[in-house]
Amino acid sequence: MGNPIVHFEIRTQDPAAGRDFYSELFGWNFIDAPPEHVDDYAYIDSMTDRATIHGGISTPQGGKQMVTVYAEVDDIHTALRKAIELGAKIVQEPYDVPGVTIALFDDPQGNTVGVAQPR
């Protein structure tokens, strides 16, 4: 069975301007994350009753602006080992945020992708 996409992030140098842009463009609202989360992180409320993927917007980590998706995995360390075997580079080692452990890697073509293991 495959791994579903469970989260996306927009990382930008100016999160406030990004929130303003996406609010105007898509009608999204934003909810500030708890203080133990990444600085300037806000969750996206897409303001719809339809099923949607959860997302957030914040400053870049490691200076790299990007839009990325997170696939849910059963074991984050196993997934990262396999990604490395397939030619990926770890961008962000696993770390805990409320309810989940996440990590980022660059695939062999340089795209940044996340993995998320629920806790």
pLDDT tens, residue by residue, 35-84: 767 678 999 999 888 888 999 999 887 778 999 999 999 999 999 999 99
Q: How many domains is the chain partitioned into structurally?
A: 1
pLDDT score at 44: 93
Q: What is the pLDDT of residue 38?
A: 66
- Domain harbouring 17, CATH code: 3.10.180.10
Q: Name the band, by pLDDT with cuts 50, 70 and 90, for residue 27.
A: very high
d(CA 89, CA 107): 7
| Tens-place pLDDT, residues 74-106 | 999 999 999 999 999 999 999 998 889 999 999
Question: Which pTM does this prediction carry?
Answer: 0.87
Residue 113 structural domain? 5-118
DSSP assignments along 13-81, one per residue:
S-HHHHHHHHHHHH--EEEEPPTTS-TT-EEEE---SS---EEEEE--STT--EEEEEEE-S-HHHHHH
The whole-angstrom separation of Cα 26 and Cα 11 is 17
pLDDT, position 34: 81
Residue 36: exposure state from Cβ atoms within 10 A (0-12, 13-18, ≥19): exposed
Taking a C-beta distance cutoff of 8 angstroms, is the pair 100, 76 a contact?
A: no
